[in-house]
Structure 1
Amino acid sequence: MSREVLSPPVQTMSQNRRYRVNVVHEDFGGDKWNGQNNRAKGANGTYQEPDLYGDDDDDEDDPAASNIEETPNGDFKLALHVPKSFYGGLIGMKGSTKRRIEEETRCEIYVPRQNEKSNAVIVRAKQRSQVCAALRQIRHLLASLRKKMKPTHFLAVALNSGKVQEHYVELKKSILEAQLPGIDEELFISERCIHLTLGVYVLLDDDERQRALNELEFCRQFLADLKTPFDVKVKGLEIMNDDPSSTRVLYGRIVSPDLQKFADKCLAHFQTTGLCATDNNDRESIKLHMTLMNNRYRKEAMKSGNSFDAREILKRFGDFDFGSAQCQAVHLCVLKSRGEDEFYKISGSLEF
């Protein structure tokens, strides 16, 4: 039996690792492969590992990559903004996650303590490509952590005024007067909070909230070919699931082609920012709707069950006409909040 099979050549790599060299016969490109193996040897005869982190153009698409600086001693450094809510996940159990990223990318990572004012994670390495590799891993980790977090903000079109609000109050009164089984006032949204939702986000600090407002302003360009203010018509009732006898959400149907186009373009743009809640990342289009009743509004939702029977409501009021409204602004609102006017607290707006 060939000696090369029983005792194949071995190449020594870093950290005392040794690997067998598979010699390829020349009929199968052996000269090419064996030549590459020979060229991989360093001056001292040991195998030199290739740079796994160089020439990765994807990293340059990350705006943070442009902030990588070369220090006076020739190292490379990046100060990366990371909300404090992510620190625990970035460090990991007893520092395991941070240590793994450092070992795989050959970087040093400094995560500020919770009581420090700075929220910049510092990444240092000998090569710029190594900093880029660490940046890529940190981005993937933060995206994974964000998916597990509850939404904090949403984009809204307020409909809490004019004819739409008046007709909603009329409908609510009619439904309650009908005294339908399992239907009570707690199921209804407040008339001061009626709105359309254009997107839901996880914004964890002031920097992320300001960034979201900047991205919203960027969406102004999508209005160029659309007629504003948007005309929003609300007519008809629908439910979110297929069983009206056991539903959780009943809403008013929206007809507004231009607003739909704008909402979908905003969705596509925000999906590239990394700020979206999980539900938004999985969507291709925004379902415009005006929520009227939601089982989650009930304070005793667990005792009352997770759904309500909407069959009689749909039968009696399915074609209800709320009228029309003019949409002149999109607001970035805080979930589960109330402002001075009893609408949601508004962090900022895109007016048109």
Structure 2
Amino acid sequence: MLSLLRIDRVLGFTNRCLKSKQEHFSIMSFRGNAVMDGSKKQKMVNLVWRPISTQSSSNVDSEAGSNVQDGQCSKSSGVIETASAGKHSVSLEVGASLMRFIKGKEGTTQMKIEEEMGVKIIFPSSRNEDHIIIEGGSVDCLTKASERIATIIDEVVRSPSLDYSHFVSLPLAIHPELVAKLVNFQKSILQDVQPVDETTSVAVNLKANSETRQVNVENRSIQVVSYPPKAKEATSSTLFDLGIEKSIFIKPNTFHLTVLMLKLWNKDRLNTARDVLKSIYPSVMDALDNRPLFIRLKGLDCMRGSLAKARVLYIPVEEIGDEGRLLRACKVITDAFVKAGLVLEKDANQSLKLHATVMNARHRKRKDKRKKMDTFDAREIHKQFGNEDWGEYLIQEAHLSQRFVFDQSGYYRCCASIPFPGEHRD
């Protein structure tokens, strides 16, 4: 289990600042971040205090992160929450996505903490705010409540309850010819309707002034569609039986290689991730030998399990030249994010297998939630596309992508990126 950062020195610092009964203080900033780097387990809980003094106080230790001059202690960071005598408050940055876990179902978790710790938890009015305020009658009750919330956050982050919010990707959808191939791949399986070019006549009944007449109208003004010949497995009923539907296909405009999955649940972690990616640019360039990197996409394969009960269908990736530069660059990226404490331990210990996913049963949109269908039959798809040559493509950048949010091109929103070497072939 993760241990909480002790705040004994901070409490000692506060006591030294209180020189008389007339002095009051407040807790000003609390940030809870679970640091998971694969080797160390430490929950970073930074409590920063700002005494509010009515009289001059002597200087305090620099290690406490504050100093007192002209009757006030200067803050080191965060937002100050001023409290009256005998009442204290703390601002806790938890991240908007975690608010619901602190509240609990119908507010039960919040009420339990408030009753047991003797505090009041105030949530922000805006869904975009990351901070909550905890108010209480003593420093001890605030500390205990903050520790309880930090434990809740840690448990949630490590569980599937909180989904990954961001990931480091190598975009492939920047290549229009590849996107077109993926669109055709989907259409050939789903058998989309197509317009007919031939000129035909359609009988239309026109009714005016209680008189009905029949006229012939050419299809130049009316779009007529017909279904192309379907393979025996491609009828709608059979597709359903096979577990194949449009929602399990990856959107062509989001096509990519995944380097690393991340849970960045507050602004601090997101800003840290941005800084990490930008800071390792020279190291990534060294790993690539400052030369352009091309990959080949060929074939179709199943991620774990059998083709008859597939969960993920993907296109294997080959580095042109097979020099290992791509994996070296990915390792530089992964190691940096692990060192920064932004990677879950289970993810840090996994070996990287680069692949380009084309179908994923996890993305299925179920109309009837009672019917669980987490696999699909990919045998016929593999027969047709198992040896498909999708082409060779340049990797142009590494991208810190935000899941579930898209830019104008249809690709994931870019939070930060670093370029790879430009295009030229030996």
TM-score range, shorter chain: 0.5 to 0.7
The residue identity in structure 1 corresponding to 2:399 is H
Q: CA contact under 8 A between 1:335 and 1:344: conserved in structure 2?
A: yes
Partner of 1:86: 98
The equivalent of 1:260 in structure 2 is 327
Q: 1:237 aligns with which of 289, 300, 316?
A: 300
2:253 maps to: 192
Note the 1:1-352 alignment, pairs <5 A: 65=46, 68-69=48-49, 71=51, 80-87=92-99, 89-90=101-102, 93=109, 95-97=111-113, 111-115=121-125, 119=131, 139-146=150-157, 147=159, 148-160=161-173, 161-172=175-186, 174-175=188-189, 179=231, 181=233, 182=239, 186=246, 187-227=248-288, 228=290, 229-256=292-319, 257-271=324-338, 273=340, 275-276=342-343, 281=347, 283-300=349-366, 305-352=373-420
Seen in structure 2, the aligned counterparts of structure 1 residues 331 and 123 have a Cα distance that, compared at 3 Å, is farther
SS of the equivalent of 1:336 reads strand
- Larger mean CA deviation between 131-140 and 279-288 belongs to 131-140
Once the two structures are TM-superposed, the CA of residue 126 in structure 1 deviates from its matched residue by 7.5
Where 1:319 maps in the other structure, the secondary structure is: coil
Relative distance call for 1:297 and 1:80 in structure 2 (3 A) is: closer
Residue 163 of structure 2 aligns to a residue whose secondary structure is coil
Q: Matches of 1:230 and 1:135 in 2, distance apart? A: 48
Counterpart residue identity of residue 125, structure 2: N
| Matched residue type, 1:68 | V
Amino acid at match of 1:93: T
Superposition deviation, residue 283 in structure 1? 4.2
Q: Over residues 213-265 of structure 1, what are the superposed CA-to-partner deviations in whole Å (9 max), with x where a residue is unaligned?
A: 22322343540431254322212211112211111221001124333333344
Contact 1:163–1:325, Cα closer than 8 Å, also in 2: no
TM-score, with length taken from structure 1: 0.63
* SS of corresponding position for 1:331: strand
**Higher percent of residues as helix:** 1
Give 1:298 shift. Answer: 4.4
Partner residue, 2:205: none
Tell me the secondary structure at the aligned position of residue 213 of structure 1: helix
Q: In the alignment, residue 48 of structure 2 is paired with which amino acid?
A: I
More strand by share: 2
Q: Which amino acid aligns with 2:277?
A: L
- The 1-side partners of 2:145 and 2:340 are apart by 19
Identical aligned residues as a percent? 23
TM-score normalised according to structure 2 size: 0.53
- Secondary structure (helix, strand or coil) at the match of 2:406 reads coil
Q: Which runs of 5+ in 2 are unaligned?
A: 1-5, 10-34, 36-41, 65-88, 192-229, 234-238, 421-426
Distance 2:339 2:148 in 1: 17
Q: Which amino acid aligns with 2:287?
A: L
CA–CA distance in structure 1, aligned partners of residues 186 and 265 of structure 2? 36
Aligned CA distance change for structure 1 residues 223 and 126 (closer, same or farther; 3 Å): same
Contact between 1:244 and 1:311, CA under 8 Å: does it hold in 2?
A: yes
Q: Which amino acid aligns with 1:158?
A: P
Give yes or no for contact 2:165–2:263 (8 Å, CA) kept in 1.
yes
Alignment check: 8 A CA contact 1:199 1:280 kept: no
Structure 1 Cα separation of the partners of residues 307 and 408 of structure 2 = 36
Counterpart CA distance in 2 for 1:121 and 1:273 is: 27
Query: What secondary structure, in the 3-state scheme, does the structure 1 residue paired with 2:154 have?
Result: helix
Q: Distance in 2 between matches of 1:301 and 1:295?
A: 14
| Alignment size in residue pairs | 288
